[in-house]
């Protein structure tokens, strides 16, 4: 295996993110000798043909690295070794061959890592997981609109920082920071918890004094870089100390409470501790302010850890499945259960046994800065004992733990190596220095390879999907530190691009540390709280109370009575139109019937065969035709000629061109009927504007168009509303069905009313279906107290302003536009899409109602919601997606509740008409909104049950549409007509 072949296959789990990096700065490459020989710490140049003579340690000769699969480095070494006490680099390779991991091994171990992550996320498996996957309650990354004055406390090592961070969003997105570094004496690191937090409070007071802001109660973010269990953003229970800390009476306690107690005990200042975060989270948040794609943080310094934004639905430890939450992986403990035993070396075991926490943090001990220098020292000691280095000589300094510091590993050149070894009391030869450099390189490489085992898996649950990059390439940015490996980032980028050509992954260094990130967490928390409050205030008028819904029900009942009354009908908005449908199918109907179903931009022509007796049933054939917009809004003659043309096409398609059949005409617009076969159009709705139709009999207009064509003749027996057709369709299956409801492009209802109450028609016996035309409910102003500014905006720009107000609050033609207007308002106020309004969002009708159904789908991840928004030209964050989903939920829920209040008025009237204490009734329902929206039907049914507790209402979905109902009405009419003739 080549040393520069890095295993980063795991980045495949990361199609779209930025990684924030926090690390010290190191030189770009190591240089050896004065003759120009140099190499990167991650890439050794292969020997050129002209350089294959002589010892590999001679100037200008590159070290040769064996290819993967070769039996071993020593077999390739061409170097004569005149001194048995000297080693060439390839002999070092052979000696440390077990420390070099193959791609196959890395892949296998990374799979173990993935399993540990899944265990950590599961509620049942978390207790036994070594990678704890701790929820942080950080639910959002910076969006650039944060603003305010914040404090940060960054505690994670022997030194800690106090910072003042001023964040301004005045168009310049500026961050100003002042900070002070304070030391933690070693005795405090191993003393009592009270002493430690008293010291921190004292340093904090000193900092506030220095800036003369002790009298201000500023919000503070606390970076506490140790394994903690969080139950909320400002509460963090220390699980275990790491990094040399051993303070008593802290493990198992809330570190925020301990800090608050120390501050309160002083009494000379007060602060608002808003959030406590891990340094890894702080790094991600720091980098996330500059790069909004940053969703991963990585630390490889004194210790090591990673975090990333995980989907809430995968986090069993926290309730809720909406949005994301940052997970603090605490990956340093990976391997504590023995899964790394096959790659841990004798040196790793020796380091572990001599540590303060033997058997714990094994992964961290293989890759972090606290142990890397010690690993090199142990190797040097063993090789010296074996007589392979320093002439077999050992010194007290070389044998002393900690004397080969981690910072020595990255020192440049032979001269520095000679100086370091000499300070250890050694007298190194040129070859000893070269071998030491090679040992440092192997140790660094192994550490970085091990680090990849974890970064390969983080985050594992972002599914592959639509990209959000400006070039259509999935983008990833990581904030992370790169310890001791000067060209780590460059090599990692190259390998990632090679292995993941479909992903654009960026690494950005955190220049300001995790302290700034803690302030950013606090700033984001403040922003989110303020924005949430502002959004809820805007949405509050759309959330209807039980009392408001009862009032809507009562007002609907009043309007129904007006529509039924002869004297009040003219002023009624709910017209309660007689349909002259007085009977439902009784099972004796038979014959072939045509049906024409016109109610939107598409219409159907059907052939319906009704059979009775033993073969009772309905057989249907149909064809769908479209109506172009220019015909919808042209002349009536053009509209009905187009309809007849489509009927002609259908008859030819069915091979029935010369046959004359009875026809039922479903005409889903407000009509005044004087007979079953006569319908006077009162007004167009649903975007129709054909001239010369309002006030005319649509059956007559249809017959005239048929005569103009002179190809066939039809017997138009009945004209019915689609709502009536739906009721009849479902009534054929369920004898309790006496109500019809449509909730689709438009909305309407019908029901069987007692003839004695239908004052517009003579006679008191029996019942007649009444077409309510309830879409106009509220046109009198009776709903003005619940109409919002968004309803008014939609109404004003509609084709019929001031009309069909109830329909505009509940039907599919308008809900998407209501949502769009709310999103526009949110964006203008900086509460969504970072305050940037796209031209697409300004376009009327761009947010279709079908998007509400898709976005509210329970099985739809937020990534798909973002995809829908991207399709609309809306570049959104995860937070934006959550907000859009909430708006869709509020608007759709209100629509279903309002529809339910109207239906409650209908069923209660039927019950009271019949003097019943309890009514069992079925409602036949059709319409795309009812059928396709995941929650509309449930909310509607719950509302009816709540508002009409004395009615048992069953909702039966019409599978065949209102066209079948029109044919059945025609069949019933033909049956009755034939019976009358006999």
Q: What is the 3-state secondary structure (H, E, C) of 74-127?
A: HHHCCCCCCCCCCCCHHHHHHHCHHHCCCHHHHHHHHHHHHHHHHHHHCCCCHH
Q: Determine which of 209-223, 290-304, 478-492, 850-864 has the lowest per-residue pLDDT on average.
A: 478-492
**Using CA atoms in the order 24, 29, 31, 32, what is the torsion angle rounded to 10 degrees?**
90
Comparing 569 with 10, the larger pLDDT belongs to: 569
The percentage of the chain sitting over the pLDDT mark of 70, rounded to a whole number, equals 82
pLDDT for the residue 36: 27
Q: Determine which of 343-357, 411-425, 441-455 has the lowest per-residue pLDDT on average.
A: 441-455
Span 423-438, average pLDDT: 89
d(CA 350, CA 367): 15
d(CA 552, CA 549): 5
For every residue of 280-336, DSSP letters joined together read HHHHHHHHHHH-TTEEEEEEESSSEEEEEEEEGGG-TTSS--SSEEEEE--GGGTTT
- Length of the chain, please? 982
Using DSSP bridges, classify how beta strands 919-926 and 951-957 pair: parallel, antiparallel or unpaired. Answer: parallel
The percentage of the chain sitting over the pLDDT mark of 90, rounded to a whole number, equals 40
Q: Is the pLDDT of residue 591 over 70?
A: yes
| 592-619 per-residue burial string, b: 16 or more CB within 10 A, e: under 16 | ebbbbbbbbeebbbbbbebebeeeeebe
Residue 18 bridge partners (DSSP):
477, 506
Residue with tokens 């002042």: 178
Is the whole model's pTM more than 0.85, yes or no?
A: no
921: enclosing H helix or E strand: strand 919-926
Q: Is the pLDDT of residue 415 over 60?
A: yes
pLDDT per residue over 181-208, tens digit each?
Answer: 999 999 999 999 999 999 999 999 999 9
pLDDT per residue over 813-822, tens digit each?
Answer: 999 999 999 9
pLDDT for the residue 128: 92
* Nearest residue to 727 via CA among 768, 774, 670: 768
Indicate the pLDDT class of residue 563, thresholds 50, 70 and 90.
Answer: very high
Q: Is the pLDDT of residue 3 over 70?
A: no
Span 326-352, average pLDDT: 91
Q: Is the pLDDT of residue 59 over 90?
A: no
d(CA 748, CA 746): 7
Residue 111 half-sphere exposure toward CB, CA atoms < 13 A = 5
* Nearest residue to 244 via CA among 225, 223, 257, 231: 225
Span 821-829, average pLDDT: 94
Beta strands of 457-528 (E only): which ranges?
475-479, 504-509
pLDDT for the residue 66: 36
Find which of 72-76, 97-101, 142-146, 942-946 is predicted with most confidence, using mean pLDDT: 942-946
d(CA 700, CA 471): 58
Structure tokens that stand for 514 in this block: 């995790």
For every residue of 2-68, DSSP letters joined together read -TT----GGGGG-SS-EEEEE-----S-EE-SSSS-EEBTTBPPPPPGGG-SS-TTSTT-PPP-PPT
**Residues labelled catalytic:** 604, 668, 722
Write phi, then psi, for 222 (nearest 5 degrees): -110, 110
d(CA 635, CA 72): 88
pLDDT per residue over 346-394, tens digit each?
Answer: 999 999 998 888 999 999 988 887 888 889 999 999 999 988 889 899 9
pLDDT for the residue 741: 96
Indicate the pLDDT class of residue 57, thresholds 50, 70 and 90.
Answer: very low
Q: Is the pLDDT of residue 265 over 90?
A: yes
pLDDT for the residue 637: 95
Q: Determine which of 46-60, 181-195, 429-443, 553-567 has the lowest per-residue pLDDT on average.
A: 46-60
pLDDT per residue over 671-707, tens digit each?
Answer: 888 888 899 998 888 789 999 999 999 999 999 999 9
Q: Is the pLDDT of residue 433 over 80?
A: yes
Span 918-933, average pLDDT: 94
Indicate the pLDDT class of residue 130, thresholds 50, 70 and 90.
Answer: very high
d(CA 695, CA 753): 25
pLDDT for the residue 529: 87
Contact call for residues 575 and 569 (beta carbons, < 8 A) = yes
Structure tokens that stand for 564 in this block: 């039924």
pLDDT per residue over 601-652, tens digit each?
Answer: 888 898 988 887 666 778 888 899 999 999 999 999 999 999 999 999 999 9
For the chain, report the end-to-end CA distance as a whole number of angstroms.
98
Contact call for residues 759 and 566 (beta carbons, < 8 A) = yes
Span 555-563, average pLDDT: 96
Find which of 72-76, 566-570, 587-591, 960-964 is predicted with most confidence, using mean pLDDT: 566-570
Comparing 789 with 592, the larger pLDDT belongs to: 789
Find which of 144-158, 847-861, 961-975 is predicted with most confidence, using mean pLDDT: 144-158
pLDDT per residue over 156-187, tens digit each?
Answer: 888 888 989 888 876 567 888 898 999 999 99
Find which of 294-298, 815-819, 848-852 is predicted with most confidence, using mean pLDDT: 815-819
pLDDT for the residue 493: 58
pLDDT for the residue 887: 94
Write phi, then psi, for 604 (nearest 5 degrees): -120, 145
Contact call for residues 180 and 162 (beta carbons, < 8 A) = yes
Span 533-551, average pLDDT: 97
Q: Residue 278, Cβ neighbours under 10 Å: how many?
A: 32
Q: Is the pLDDT of residue 785 over 90?
A: yes
pLDDT for the residue 908: 97
């Amino acid at each position: 295996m080549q040393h520069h072949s890095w295993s980063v296959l795991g980045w495949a789990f990361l199609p779209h993110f930025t990684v924030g990096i926090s690390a010290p700065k190191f030189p770009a490459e190591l240089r050896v000798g004065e003759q120009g020989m140099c190499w990167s710490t991650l890439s050794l140049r292969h020997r050129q043909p002209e350089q294959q003579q002589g010892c590999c340690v001679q100037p200008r000769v590159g070290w040769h690295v064996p290819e993967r699969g070769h039996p071993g480095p020593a077999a390739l070494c061409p170097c004569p070794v005149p001194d048995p006490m000297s080693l060439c680099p390839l002999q070092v390779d052979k000696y440390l061959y077990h420390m070099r991991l193959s791609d196959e091994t890395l892949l296998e171990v990374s799979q173990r890592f993935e399993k540990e992550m899944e265990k950590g996320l599961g509620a049942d498996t978390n207790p036994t997981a070594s990678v704890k996957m701790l929820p942080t309650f950080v639910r959002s990354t910076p969006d650039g609109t944060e603003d305010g004055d914040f404090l940060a406390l960054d505690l994670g090592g022997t030194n800690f920082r106090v910072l003042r961070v001023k964040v301004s969003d005045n168009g310049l997105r500026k961050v100003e920071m002042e900070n002070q570094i304070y030391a933690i004496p070693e005795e405090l690191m191993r003393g009592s918890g009270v002493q430690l937090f008293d010291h921190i409070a004292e340093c904090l007071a000193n900092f506030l004094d220095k800036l003369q802001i002790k009298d201000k109660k500023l919000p503070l973010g606390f970076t506490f870089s140790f394994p903690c269990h969080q139950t909320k953003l400002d509460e963090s229970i220390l699980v275990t100390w790491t990094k040399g800390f051993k303070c008593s009476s802290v493990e198992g306690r809330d570190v925020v409470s301990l800090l608050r107690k120390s501050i309160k005990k002083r009494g000379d200042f007060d602060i608002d501790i808003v959030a406590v975060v891990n340094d890894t989270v702080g790094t991600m948040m720091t980098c996330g302010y500059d790069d909004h794609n940053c969703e991963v943080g990585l630390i490889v310094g004194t210790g090591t850890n990673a975090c990333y934004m995980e989907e809430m639905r995968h986090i069993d430890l926290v309730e809720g499945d909406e949005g994301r939450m940052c997970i603090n992986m605490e990956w340093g403990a990976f391997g504590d259960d023995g899964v790394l035993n096959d790659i841990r070396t004798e040196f790793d075991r020796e380091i572990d046994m001599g540590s303060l926490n033997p058997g714990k943090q094994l992964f961290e001990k293989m890759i972090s800065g606290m142990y890397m220098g010690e690993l090199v020292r142990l190797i040097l000691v063993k090789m010296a004992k074996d007589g392979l280095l320093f002439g077999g000589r050992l010194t007290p300094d070389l044998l002393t733990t900690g004397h080969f510091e981690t910072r020595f590993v990255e020192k440049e050149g032979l001269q520095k190596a000679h100086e370091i070894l000499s300070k250890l009391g050694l007298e190194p030869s040129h070859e000893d220095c070269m071998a030491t450099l090679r040992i440092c390189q192997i140790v660094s490489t192994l550490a970085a390879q091990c680090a990849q085992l974890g970064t390969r898996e983080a985050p594992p649950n972002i599914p592959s999907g639509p990209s959000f990059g400006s070039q259509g390439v999935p983008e990833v940015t990581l904030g992370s530190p790169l310890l001791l490996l000067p060209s780590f980032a460059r090599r990692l980028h190259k390998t990632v691009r090679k292995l993941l050509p479909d992903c654009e992954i960026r690494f950005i260094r955190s220049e300001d540390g995790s302290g700034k990130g803690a302030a950013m967490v606090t700033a984001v928390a403040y922003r989110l709280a303020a924005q949430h409050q502002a959004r809820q205030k805007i949405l509050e008028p759309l959330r209807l109370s039980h009392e408001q819904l009862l009032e809507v029900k009562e007002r609907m009942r009043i309007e129904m009575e007006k529509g039924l009354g002869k004297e009040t009908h003219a002023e009624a908005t709910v017209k309660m139109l007689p349909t002259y449908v007085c009977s439902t199918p009784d099972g004796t109907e038979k014959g072939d019937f045509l049906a024409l179903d016109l109610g939107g931009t598409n219409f159907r022509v059907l052939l319906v065969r009704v059979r009775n007796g033993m073969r009772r049933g309905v057989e249907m054939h149909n064809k769908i035709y479209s109506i172009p917009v220019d015909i919808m809004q042209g002349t009536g003659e053009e509209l009905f000629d187009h309809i007849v043309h489509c009927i002609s096409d259908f008859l030819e398609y069915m091979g029935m061109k010369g046959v004359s059949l009875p026809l039922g005409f479903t005409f889903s617009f407000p009509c005044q009927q004087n007979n079953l076969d006569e319908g006077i159009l009162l007004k167009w709705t649903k975007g129709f504007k054909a001239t010369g139709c309002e006030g005319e009999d649509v059956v007559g207009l249809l017959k005239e168009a048929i005569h103009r064509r002179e190809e066939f003749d039809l017997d138009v027996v009945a004209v019915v509303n689609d709502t009536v057709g739906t009721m009849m369709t479902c009534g054929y299956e369920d004898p309790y069905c006496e109500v019809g409801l449509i909730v689709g492009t438009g909305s309407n209802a019908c029901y069987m009313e007692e003839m004695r109450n239908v004052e517009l028609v003579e006679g008191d016996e029996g019942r007649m279906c009444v077409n309510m035309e309830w879409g106009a409910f509220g046109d009198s102003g009776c709903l003005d107290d619940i109409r919002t500014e968004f309803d008014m905006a939609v109404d004003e720009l509609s084709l019929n302003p001031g009309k069909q107000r109830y329909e505009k609050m509940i039907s599919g033609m308008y809900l998407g536009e209501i949502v769009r207007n709310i999103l526009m308002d949110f964006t203008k106020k900086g509460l969504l899409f970072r305050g940037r309004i796209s031209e697409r969002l300004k376009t009327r009708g761009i947010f279709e109602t079908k998007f509400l159904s898709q976005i509210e789908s329970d099985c739809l991840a937020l990534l798909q919601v973002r995809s829908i928004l991207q399709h609309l030209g809306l570049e959104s964050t995860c937070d934006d997606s959550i907000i859009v989903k909430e708006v869709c939920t509020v608007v759709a829920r209100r629509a279903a509740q309002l529809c339910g209040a109207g239906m409650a008025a209908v069923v209660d009237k039927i019950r009271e008409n019949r003097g019943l204490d309890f009514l069992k009734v079925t409602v036949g329902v059709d319409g795309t909104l009812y059928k396709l929206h995941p929650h509309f039907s449930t909310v509607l049914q719950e509302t009816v049950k709540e508002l009409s507790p004395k009615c048992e209402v069953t909702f039966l979905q019409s599978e065949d549409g209102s066209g079948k109902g029109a044919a059945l009405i025609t069949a019933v009419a033909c049956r009755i007509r034939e019976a009358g003739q006999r």
